[in-house]
Amino acid sequence: MNLYTLISASVVVVLAIFFSLPLLNPTYWLNLNLKSWLWIPIPSSSLSSSSLIADLVVRNGVIYTSDESLPFADSMAIHNGRILRLGNFSFVQELAGDGTEELDLGGKVVVPGFIDSHVHLIYAGLQMARVELHGVNKKDEFVRKIKEALRNAKEGSWILGGGWNNDLWGGELPLASWIDDITPYNPVWLNRMDGHMGLANSLALKLSGISNLTKDPEGGTIVRTVDGEPTGLLIDSAMKLLLPYIPEDTVNERREALVRATNHALMRGVTTVVDFGRYYPGVSAELSWEDFLDVYQWADASEKMMIRVCLFFPMETWLRLLDLIGKMGRAISQWIYLGGVKAFADGSLGSNSALFHEPYADEPHNYGLQVTESEILYNMTMASEKSGLQVAIHAIGDRANDLILDIYESVVSTNGMRDRRFRIEHAQHLAPGAAARFGQQGIVASVQPLHLLGDADSATKKLGTDRAQKESYLFRSLLASNALLAFGSDWPVVDINPLGGIKTAMKRIPPGWDDAWIPSECLTLNDALKAHTISAARACFLDNDLGSLSPGKLADFVILSTDSWDDFAAEGSASVEATYVSGVRAYP
């Protein structure tokens, strides 16, 4: 046997062994349970192989893919939860077989499953079962809601709820005295809609030891009368003086909250959320970890997860997250992905605690609150980033955004260039030049369009017309700077509603207004859709699997009520008819 023959024979043997091993066969991986191979990139050539039979063929629609290489298709084939092929029906139909289900869209518009880039999922589910004060626009209605909650409350039990917005009834802040007479035996705690301020009745203040002698904690304010007596309002870190006295939510209550919130999100077409947990200034960092252990892992193990979550944890616990990723990896299952860490730079506009370069117009001596010291923020960001964790920091005021942009720039100059996708959550008010810095530094602007509906009037009052017009919700400017724009809701601050957010980003017309607020910042439908899909996926490192309808991606999609793309593009108006996760109908 000559050398050539020997080599040829050896190659044949090796190839035979290679393709006989199931672990090395692409079809083996494609037929694994979806749970075991989510987040593993699968070559589109393998997925579109004619040897695979589609589980579902979706046809006769206007399928917006969010993928620039093929923006629209009328049909798609799905196998084992992922997309095999898109295009016209004859091309897709080649993958149909005896067991293939067919879904006729009847000409309806289909979009990728929406990704909400900023929610507090379990907290939102808990709030759905408490006193609901969203939309209340009169003091009498505020008080009536508390009276109603007392009917079924036992003496001594806490009355909890929130969502109030004092701007809806003229701006006057609520007082403990509003509800003291009707709640002599029940402590009360009611969060403002933004979560950065809350109202306690006098009994709750007494139980928590808050009096005229109590000092303001760093990063927080106890609102007082001219005589120094607490009014019942606590801002940002001051809430930590009271919150430990509220009984903890039980494990079952939190598990029920997850189910409740999930069903509502799916009804809105949301298939993935970036969840920042029950974490606000003044709240224990342990709550996020308790929800991960008691709720998310339980739901995953018991196959009750129906929505994908990318979890962020308090930045002060970054070492704990790093250890968890080392043990379990970033993708715990097809449902749970460990995202990164979050910190706070300031408070909120509505609570007059967002941090600005210039004082509030209605409070000339108030510049807002810096919730976390600059040195602490820098050191935690440096350590987290160096360990490979994604960092997200809450910043609403212009000074807070400049502070975080400076910290991120400094970290990059020290640690060097890499794909880190630093995030700023909210980025609501930006000083001149700040929008350009987002693009120059490659920062993710994680913004919430629906917030501008409630902020348009109050921003003018609190900042003055000139500042409000120049620096508020600069979506178009951020995109023009090549920043990555990711849309979310901050639910339960506002309702989770991507289609409402998309229309708001396009129109920017607040309630009672005839014209757009800063019309130069309006987006096109295409830009707004991408911010809730492919850009939102990229903003949390999930763009290999989510965000667009293209071969190899997970088959998460939403069927809309409209059958006219032109009408949708012009008005941004539509509703959700059905939501599919991994090619399976999840709503209704």
DSSP for 390-427 reads EEEEEE-SHHHHHHHHHHHHHHHHHH-------EEEE-
Which CATH number do you get for residue 82?
2.30.40.10
With respect to residue 298, please indicate whether it lies within any of the assigned structural domains.
no
Whether 163 and 230 map to the same domain: the answer is: yes
With respect to residue 254, please indicate whether it lies within any of the assigned structural domains.
no
Whether 211 and 126 map to the same domain: the answer is: yes
Share of the chain above pLDDT 70, in %: 91
- What is the rounded distance in angstroms from the CA atom of residue 44 to the CA atom of residue 190? 51
Whether 146 and 175 map to the same domain: the answer is: yes
From 245, 276, 307, give the residue that closes a domain: 245
DSSP tag of 278: S
With respect to residue 265, please indicate whether it lies within any of the assigned structural domains.
no
Whole-model pTM above 0.75?
yes
With respect to residue 183, please indicate whether it lies within any of the assigned structural domains.
yes
What are the backbone dihedrals phi and psi of residue 354, each rounded to the nearest 5 degrees, phi first?
A: -65, 145
With respect to residue 152, please indicate whether it lies within any of the assigned structural domains.
yes
Q: For position 50, what pLDDT does the model report?
A: 53
- What is the rounded distance in angstroms from the CA atom of residue 454 to the CA atom of residue 493? 11
With respect to residue 389, please indicate whether it lies within any of the assigned structural domains.
no
- What is the rounded distance in angstroms from the CA atom of residue 444 to the CA atom of residue 392? 9
Whether 132 and 208 map to the same domain: the answer is: yes
Q: How many CA atoms lie within 13 A of 95 on its CB side?
A: 29
End-to-end CA distance of the chain: 69
- What is the rounded distance in angstroms from the CA atom of residue 441 to the CA atom of residue 261? 35
Whether 183 and 216 map to the same domain: the answer is: yes
What dihedral do alpha carbons 155, 156, 157, 159 form, nearest 10°? Answer: 90
Task: Cis check for the bond before 588: say yes or no (omega within 30 of 0).
Answer: yes
Whether 193 and 145 map to the same domain: the answer is: yes
What dihedral do alpha carbons 127, 128, 132, 137 form, nearest 10°? Answer: 100
Whether 131 and 102 map to the same domain: the answer is: no
**What domain range is 98 assigned to?**
56-107
* Cβ within 8 Å of residue 7, ≥6 positions away: none
From 44, 78, 107, give the residue that closes a domain: 107
With respect to residue 233, please indicate whether it lies within any of the assigned structural domains.
yes
Whether 131 and 239 map to the same domain: the answer is: yes
- What is the rounded distance in angstroms from the CA atom of residue 344 to the CA atom of residue 306? 30
> Which of 552, 557, 497, 562 shows the shortest CA–CA distance to 528?
497
Q: For position 42, what pLDDT does the model report?
A: 41
Q: Is the dihedral of CA 413, 415, 421, 424 positive or negative?
A: negative
With respect to residue 31, please indicate whether it lies within any of the assigned structural domains.
no
Whether 137 and 174 map to the same domain: the answer is: yes
Whether 64 and 154 map to the same domain: the answer is: no
Task: Write b or e for each residue in 496-519: b if 16 or more Cβ atoms lie within 10 A of its Cβ, otherwise e.
Answer: bbbbbbbbbbbbbbbeeeeeebbe
> Which of 230, 233, 222 shows the shortest CA–CA distance to 174?
233
- The residues of the chain scoring below 70 in pLDDT are 1-50
From 184, 219, 245, give the residue that closes a domain: 245
Chain-centre distance for alpha carbon 146: 29
Whether 98 and 153 map to the same domain: the answer is: no
Q: Please, are residues 298 and 252 in contact by the beta-carbon 8 Å criterion? A: no
Which CATH number do you get for residue 228?
3.10.310.70
Whether 171 and 207 map to the same domain: the answer is: yes
Total tally of structural domains belonging to the chain: 2
